[in-house]
Structures are given as C-alpha cells and as structure tokens.
Amino acid sequence: MHTPIIIAAFAGLLVIIALIQPLARRLGLAPSVVVAMVGTLIGIGATYLLYTPHTDVFNELANVFVHLPINSEQILYIFLPILLFQTTLTMDVRRIFEDIGPILLMAVVAVFFATFFIGFALQPFSGMPLIACLLLGAIVATTDPVAVVAIFRDIGAPARLGRIVEGESLLNDAAAIVLFVLLLGILTGTQSPDLGEAAAEFLRAFAGGVLAGIVGGRIAVFILPTMRDLPLAQVTFSLALPYLIYVVSDQAFSVSAVVAVVSAGLVFNLYGPAKIAPESWNFLQTVWEQIAFWASSLIFLLVAILIPRLVDGFTPLDIVLLLILVAAALLARAVVIFGLLPLLSFLKVGEAVSTPFKTVILWGGMRGAATLTLALSVSEHAALTPEVSSFVTKLATAFVLFTLLVYGTSLKQLIHFLKLDQLSARDKAMRNQFQALVLSDVRQEVAETAKGYGIDNRLVEIVSETYDHRASEVAEASNQLEDLKDRERVTIGLIALADKERSLVLKHFHERTISSRFAARHLALAGRIGDLTRTEGRAGYNKAIREPLRFDWRFRVAQRLHKHLKIERFLLRRIADRFELLLVDRIISGELIGFNHRRITPLVGQRVGDILGDTLTNRHEEICRAIEALRLQYPDYADALELLFLRRTALRLEETAYAEAASSALIGQELYNDLQGELVKGRIAAGKRPKLDLGMATKDLLTRHALFACLDDAQRKTIAKLMRSRFAVPGEVLIRRGDRGDSAFFISSGAVEVNSPSGTFRLGRGDMFGEIALITGKPRTADVVALGYCQLLILSLADYRQLVAKAPEIRETMMEVAEQRQMMNAAGLLPEPEDDLLEDTSPETPPAETAPLDTEAAEAAAETESAASGSAEDGQTALDDDLFEAGENAEGEPVKLDEPVIDPELIAQGELIEPEVITEAALDTQEDVSPLLTSGEDGQEPVPETEAVEVEELAAPQDAPALSAELAPSEDMPAQPEDETKAEETAEPMPAAGVANDNGRRH
C-alpha cells in the first residue's frame, strides 16, 4: 500500500467521525451506534468495490479498508491505554469509592457470573468445548457505557447512577480482559486448566496490575511538579505514562496491563491536581478529552469496517446460538442488577437504586469497541482451530451489532416509557420559580441599559411586553403547583445550595485561594450533600454536612500510631488537614448564607428561606466551634492558616489587576510577563502549608503543669525521662471503670470528664487523675473521657516509685490529694466548684449531684460529635419533614406556620428534644448536659447506647482550651451508626456543672 493512500484514508475517516456527531444528534441516537452502522457500510462498500468486475478505479483505496494496515495487537497497544487512562481522569475518584460495593459487584462479580452463565448456556447447543464457550462469554461480558451515560445526563438522572455505570465499565473491562487472557491460555495450552492454578493466576495478574499501576502513578505524580507552569510538557508527560505502564506491566512483569493502567490513572487523578496549577490541570483534561474522542471513534470505526469479514459465513445455526447468547447475557445481567444490587442496599453497602433505573441499566448493557477488538484478536490467533475462531468471532461480532441496533436505538424510548425523562413536581417548581426570577431581573436590566444608552422608552416597552408575557405564563404554571409541600420547597432550596456550594469551591480553586487537594475533597463533599439531599431531604443534607466534623479512619490510624509507636508525622498531617478542611468549610458555608438570602429566599418564599437560613447558620456555627476547639489548642497554627488564605487572596487580586491592565493596553506584554514572574514566586511560597507542632515534648509538658512548677530544670529533666506524653482527641476514653490501675495521668492542657459513682465532673489543666489506683493498687472506680484535645503526661507504677524517690515533695502532694479524695468519696460528696476550670462561666446555683454517665452512651455521644447538631437539628428535621407543612399539631390544633411545631408526644416518647434545651445549657449557662443524655425521666435507667444523643460542644474558658472541642470518636471507641440519634428528655431541670478541684474525686 502506498503511504499517501493510507494517509488520505485516515483523513477521510476523521472527516466521517466529525460528520457523524451532528448526524447522531439529528437522529437522536448515540454516536457509537451511528459509528458502528457507518463503519459496517464502509466495510461492505469497500469489499464490493475491491472485488466487483465492473471497475478497478477504487481498488487501491478499497484495499486499505478491506485489508486494514493494522492488526488486533496494534489496535490494543495503540488505543486501549489511551481510552482507559482518559476514563480514569474524568472520574470523581472519591465519589467512586463511595459506591465501590455496587461497582465491584457489577464489574467483577457480574463478569464472572456472565462468563460462566453464557458459557454453560451455549455449550450444549454449539458442540464447542466448554472453554471456547467461556471465552466467548468473557469477550461479551465487557460493556460500553458511553451511550447510557450520555442519555443519563440528558434526562438529568442522579449523578450516582452515571458513576456506577462508568465505574462498572472501567473495572468490567479490566476484569474481563484478565479473564479472557486466562481462558485463551487454557484453550491454546499455555495455561494450566487446573481450577486452583487458574484462580491463583487470575489473582496474581489482577493484584500485580494494581500494584504496578499504583507504583507507576505515584512516580509520575512525584515527577509532575518539576514541569510546573509548563502545561504542554505536562500533557506530553501524561500521554507517555499509560503507554509506559502498559508495556512495562505486560512485558516486564507479566501482570495485567489493563489493570495497571486503570490503577495508575486513578492515582494520577487523585494526586495530580495538587501538583500543578488549576488552569494547567484543566488544560490537561481538555487535551485528553480530545485525544480520547479520536481514539474511541477510530477504534470503533476501524473494527466496525471489519464486521462484514468477521461475520462471513453466518448460518441458521449461528442465528439460534446468537438468540441463546442474547437471552443468556440479558438474564445474567438481570440476576446481578435485580438480585444482588438490592442485597447490597439491604446490607448498607450501597444506596438503593430504583426499579426504573435498574431497568435502564439492564437494557443499556451495550457492547462496543473492547468486545470487537477481542473478537478480532481471536480471529487472528494462529494457535486456535478455525472452528473455534469462527465460532467466537462471528457470535461476538453479531452480539455487538445486536446490542447497538436493538438496545441502542430503543433505549430512549424505554426511558420515555418509564417517564424518567419527565420533570418531577419539585423540578417543575424549581424551574418555574427560577425562570420567573430571571425574567424579572432581565426586564429590569434591559430598562436600565436602555436608559444608560439613551434608547427610546417606546422600544423598551416592546421588549418588556415580551418578558411580561413570559413571566405571566410562568406565574400561571407556578400557581398550578401551589400544593407543593413546604418539605419539598426546603429540599428544592437545599439542592440549589448544594449546587452553589460546588460552584463556590470551583471559584476558589480557580482563584487559588484554596489548594487543589482540599478543593477536590470539598467537591466530593458537595456531591454527597446533593445526592443525599435529593434522596433524603433535609435529613440527608444534615447528615452530609457533618462529615467534616467527624474523625475518619485515617485519623484513627494516625492516632493509634502516635499512641503506641510514638510516630507523630501522620497525626500531624491529619490534624493539619482537619484544620484546613474546616477553614475551607467555614468560608464556603459563610458565603452560602449570603447566597441564600439574596437568591434562594426569593425562589422558595420567606418562611422556607428562613428555615434554610437557620440550617446554614447552624452548620456555620458548628464549624466555627470545631475550629475554635483546635484554635484554643494551637492558636499560632490557626493564625498561620488564615494568614495563608489572605496571602492567596491578595495574590489573586494582584493577578487580576495585572491582567486587566494588560488587556486594556495600560502595560505592555513584556512588563506583564515580568510582573507574572514575581507572582509565580509568590504563589510557590503561598502554596506551602505551615508546619504544625503538636507540642508533645515531655519536658515542655512538665513545665506547663502546676504540680511540677516548683522543680528546677535539672529535676524536670530527670523526671521527663520517667514520663511519656499522650495526645487525646475529643471523646477518647482514657480510663475505664474496673481496669487495673497501673498509671496516673497529669493534664498539661485540655479538659476531661470524670464519671464516678459519686457523680460526673470535670478536670482541667494542672489536674491529675488515676493516682488513687496507682498508689493503692485497686481497680479503677471511674470512667474518664477527654472533652477536647488534651496533652497528657502518663506515669507508670514503676516510674512512680522512681519519681517519688527523686522528688519527695511531689509524692507528698499526690498522697495528700489521694487522701482528700478518698475521704470525700467515702462521704459520698461531690467537690465544690473551686477549680478555675470553668471560671466565670459556672452558674451561680450550687452544683447538684448528677446521675452516673453510662460509658457506652458517652462513647455514642462522642461518636456523633456536635451536640446541638444532633439534638436541635434532628428535632428540627423531624419537625420540618413531618409536621410543619400541615399547619396543625398532632392533636389537630392550628398552629402558626412561621413558628416551629413541636409535638409534646414526640418529646415525651424520646423522639424529639427541644432545640432550646441543649442550646441554652451548652451555650448560655455552660451547664453539664450529661444527665440529659444518660438518664431517663425521674431517675430511670440510662438510655441505651443507640439512643445516645449528640453532645453540644461546650464553650471553653481561656484557661481550658480544649473544653470547647467537638466530641468525636476515638480509636478506643466502638464505631457507632451514622443514623440520626435520639434521646429522651428528662423531666428534671438541668443540673449545674460539677466542677472539681483537687479534693474529693474518686478514680
């Protein structure tokens, strides 16, 4: 073949691909369907022109298409790495992991199930070996999600469904190709047919591919910053990455190259944006989108051209086998979708998928380029017999054509039949109200523009009449939706706020005021907020926004490493990450409050707008309290982070000013480039996060503790060798009742809550606990839980003996305190509030004895973190979702719609706690709220663990920095369910906080 002819044919294919896009849009079909049909027609036409006796004019050009100058191996090596890598770049990796259960089920389990189901269904009728039938099953198990995802986007389907389908296809291709290679090896004799060895080889290839991809991706991410502000170099480097990973994994390590490329792409997507500028990452994704479009279209068109050759010799028996294949594939997919997906939802592994959407996913299981390419590789494999090769190739190709021509052309009709393309009442109301607001703004802007340019008012009225007419039509449509419940209006507003939150994060990301790493995390959070709000309403919104306040598994692991191995690096990173994430959340939530007032309230009405405003205000206040808890412990670091934000904002303003001056020709290009160079240096400096010091040096902690203040430096240095430091987070259980007392604790900073048989009280900076059990050797008689971030010194029994020998005055102090506490405990007395832990915040009334705090209830309370968010918001959720739209209470008595509706029965039954109870106690009087959480009415038994309510963060005085920390799960505490927790309201008034001094506390 002549090179010019090949180049001309290639250019012609590109032109055809470009023209197919508007044609597909006009026909209302997926482009892949049209590409397959056009490619098949090209193949038929080229074959006719090459072999017709009527003319030889087009023989040379037709020969290019009939005998393509590229084989299946070249197609796989050239196109597959690009397609796999680009798919991973467009995914929201963090959101994908939220639905990893359904995705793995659809991808891996469904591939195996479909392969074996199809293989065993075909074998009795085909007369072919079972392995050949299984090989065909593995080839057709891959799916092409492009058409389904495109249709989902067109009809406004939940984003989660698109993620499931995309994730399924990505991992589906990887699993199916690994299984295909394994079965092909068995069929050709290069792989052992033993089931155990085959399974081991599959796991080795799959796991090896994952490892190779992760290593390769991390190396690429490490190299990427060296090309900072060089977007063309970055794109070039990223283009080479999938090819290198594919070849090295396949040829050097003999692991799955497909899995390796997928893993490398996910790592690159997860960590790459944090290494380069936002506009560089956007440019990289844009270029990759174009490359992937060319690759996917070309591979589909090239393989489709070969379809006439692949199905040559189709017989009536093949038609019967094709029908069996279609039925078996459809049934296997139906079993997975309708049988196993509901099981995952039941097990709380993934959220439920509605039946209409499951039907669309079932019917949308089209096959595409991957299936055709694998079929082509079988037709070219010399080690296979002609019968097996023809059997697999013909049926796989015919099956692809069937799915494209039947599923692809009827999918939109199915969606219309299931009414998935119709707007819900909520969406219609949102559309009408938003359009009415926009039309009003446009009408006003037109009038002001005309006035500014001196245009005749007569012309303005002509334009205004058009908008008045449209506004009246929208108002009439809105009147038909007046019966929309307030609960739905609240949901509409919250969905709009979630969408706005995403746009605000992107705005800050592009302005470089927040780092790309935390922009990605907050974008994932905004997505979860939107998804949960759409499915669960306000309760889902409240559940999602609490995520930044929780301590995740990474924090638990870092805390455990610090506690047991004294590895501080990971805990430092987790605390710093928490600081920055909360600051970003505070910025975004504050901007949402203003947006709700300006734009959302006019859409949904004043009363619903006020409810949304209260929800946003509560969220903002919770975040501020969580930040304040950290600030009190690490004030310098908090200031440094906020200073960093201000510097980034200043750089953005400076960059904007330079750009505007350059666009207005106030400064030349040379001067602008010079100014940009200075900005780059400033951005590099502003991109570095300040370092956090936990302040856990034992000598420093000793200096801060009042008990050791009387010692000189030499003594403190000696004693520091006997003690070890410990960092505690809010809610961490430090001592459990009944444990062996082999150590004492000294509080250098922070506060703890002690629950003894005598009652519940708090200790703060300068106090110690656990000394009685240490001295007497008796078991612990109290539970101690950290109220905030605490820095503690721990003294073991063996070290205690050395300590008292070297510092007798400390022994005397400890013995004196222990004797006083034992005497007080024997008398059943609680200490007077003489300690300055809550100075100027304790109520004037004397402290009353409180009911014992149940440890499990305390842990459950700590697990859910912010108290008022659990009680006040849960109560408000129940109120809004079930009562307020009715306009009357449970007894049918009318109530004011602009006031909360509180059902006394709900309170009496423990279903609802009035928001004022926790709020006033925690914020106004600083009283201890633990009795409210742990005891029933009239001193009844404490509520069980599952009914523990979230505990409000207590505002701390200046000398107890950790006291206002949010409560959260520690690594010592069992995981609690994330459901909205409830508690019974006590009939007794809330007791005053028992604040203790060094006397009368039993441990």
DSSP codes, 854-894 = PHHHHHHHHHH--HHHHHHHHHHHHHHHHTGGGTB-TTS-B
Mean pLDDT of 489-496: 86
Region 464-481: mean pLDDT is 73
**CA–CA separation, 209 and 254 (whole Å):** 9
Position 940 scores a pLDDT of 39
For position 415, what pLDDT does the model report?
A: 80
What does the block give as tokens for 551?
């301590």
Q: What pLDDT is attached to residue 870?
A: 39
Q: For residues 746 and 770, what is the distance between their CA atoms, to the nearest angstrom?
A: 9
pTM over 0.85: no
Report the pLDDT value the prediction gives residue 820, as an integer from 0 to 100. Answer: 67
- Name the burial class of residue 637, with classes exposed (0-12), middle (13-18) and buried (19+) by CB atoms within 10 angstroms of its CB: buried
Q: What is the residue type of 264? A: A
- H/E stretch holding 852 reads none
Per-residue pLDDT at 471: 78
Element holding 738 (H helix, E strand): none
Taken as a whole, the chain contains a residue count of 1003
What does the pLDDT read at residue 517? Answer: 74
Mean pLDDT of the chain: 75
60-77 pLDDT tens trace? 888 888 888 888 888 888
Distance of CA 919 to the CA centre of its chain: 31
Instruction: Specify the pLDDT at position 903.
Output: 39
Q: Which residue has the higher pLDDT, 239 or 727?
A: 239
Classified as helix, coil or strand, 42 is helix
For 425-446, how does the pLDDT look when each residue is reduced to its tens digit (9 = 90+)?
A: 667 776 777 777 788 778 888 8
* Residue for token pair 């305190």: 817
Instruction: Identify any residues that bridge with 728 across adjacent strands, giving them in sequence order.
Output: 790
Q: How far is the C-alpha of 429 from the C-alpha of 474, rounded, in Å?
A: 10
Judge whether 489 and 430 are in contact, CB under 8 Å. Answer: no
Which pLDDT score is estimated for 779? 86
What's the CA gap between 247 and 257, in Å, rounded? 7
Neighbours of 92 (CB within 10 A): 17
Say which DSSP state 990 is in: P
Q: In CATH, which of 1.20.1530.20, 3.40.50.970, 1.20.1250.20, 1.10.530.10 is domain 73-417?
A: 1.20.1530.20
**Max Cα-Cα span within the chain:** 117
Local confidence band at 826 (pLDDT 50, 70, 90 cut-offs): low
- pLDDT tens by residue, 199-213: 888 889 889 999 999
**Each residue of 782-807: pLDDT tens digit?**
899 988 788 888 888 778 777 777 77
Higher-pLDDT residue of 138, 565: 138
Residue 237 pLDDT exceeds 90: yes
List Cβ neighbours of 412 (8 Å cut-off, separation of 6 or more): 28, 151, 421
Q: What is the Cα–Cα distance from 592 to 580, expressed in whole angstroms? A: 18
The answer, yes or no, to whether residue 810 has pLDDT greater than 50, is yes
Q: Which residues pair with 785 in a beta bridge?
A: 733, 753
The pLDDT of residue 818: 66
Whether pLDDT at 489 is above 70: yes
pLDDT digits (tens, 9 = 90+) for 523-540: 888 888 988 888 788 899
User: Would you say residue 979 has pLDDT above 50?
Assistant: no
pLDDT at 242 over 90: yes
Query: How many CB atoms sit inside 10 A of residue 188's CB?
Result: 14
d(CA 103, CA 110): 10
The domain limits of the chain are: 3-66, 73-417, 485-634, 643-686, 698-838
Q: How far is CA 310 from CA 44, 59, 137, 378, 395, in A?
A: 12, 21, 17, 10, 9
Tokens of 813: 């102090």
- Count of other CB atoms within 10 angstroms of residue 11: 10
Please report the pLDDT score of residue 909 as a whole number.
37
Pair 961, 984: CB distance under 8 Å: no
In which band, very low, low, confident or very high, does the pLDDT at 880 lie, cut at 50, 70 and 90?
A: very low
Looking at the DSSP assignment, which residues form a beta bridge with residue 724?
794
When mean pLDDT is compared across 333-342, 421-430, 455-464, 948-957, the lowest value belongs to 948-957
3-state DSSP call for residue 995? strand
Q: Nearest-CA neighbor of 269 among 498, 79, 102, 84?
A: 84
Q: Cα–Cα distance between 637 and 572 in angstroms, integer? A: 12
Most confident region among 465-469, 541-545, 704-708 by mean pLDDT? 541-545
Under a CB-based contact definition with an 8 Å cutoff, are residues 990 and 932 in contact? yes
Rg (CA), the chain: 34
All residues at 6 or more sequence positions from 790 whose CB lies less than 8 Å from its CB, including other chains = 727, 728, 747, 749, 750, 751, 752, 962
Please check whether residue 626 is in contact with residue 575, taking contact to mean a CB–CB distance below 8 angstroms: no
Alpha carbon 488 to its chain centroid, in Å, reads 25
Nearest-angstrom CA–CA distance, 571 and 653: 35
Q: Name the range with the highest mean pLDDT among 76-85, 170-179, 847-856.
A: 76-85
- The token duo for 998 is 């060094």
278-305 and 72-89 are packed helices; what angle lies between their axes, rounded to 10 degrees? 150
CA distance linking residue 767 with residue 995, whole number of Å: 12
The arithmetic mean of pLDDT across residues 319-327, rounded, is 93
Structure tokens at 62: 């037709």
Burial of 27 (0-12, 13-18, 19+ CB in 10 A): middle
State residue 959's pLDDT score: 38
CB 206 within 8 A of CB 182: no
Reported as a single tens digit per residue, the pLDDT across 556-613 is: 888 888 777 878 888 888 888 888 888 889 999 999 999 999 888 887 778 888 999 9
Alpha helix (H) residue ranges in 697-807? 698-704, 713-720, 771-776, 797-806
Cβ neighbours, 10 Å, residue 906: 20
Tell me the HSE value of 267 on the side-chain side, using a 13 A CA sphere.
24
The CATH code that applies to domain 698-838 is: 2.60.120.10
Predicted confidence at residue 15, as pLDDT, reads 94
Residue 150's pLDDT band, with cuts at 50, 70 and 90, is low
With contact defined as beta carbons under 8 Å apart, do 517 and 278 qualify?
no
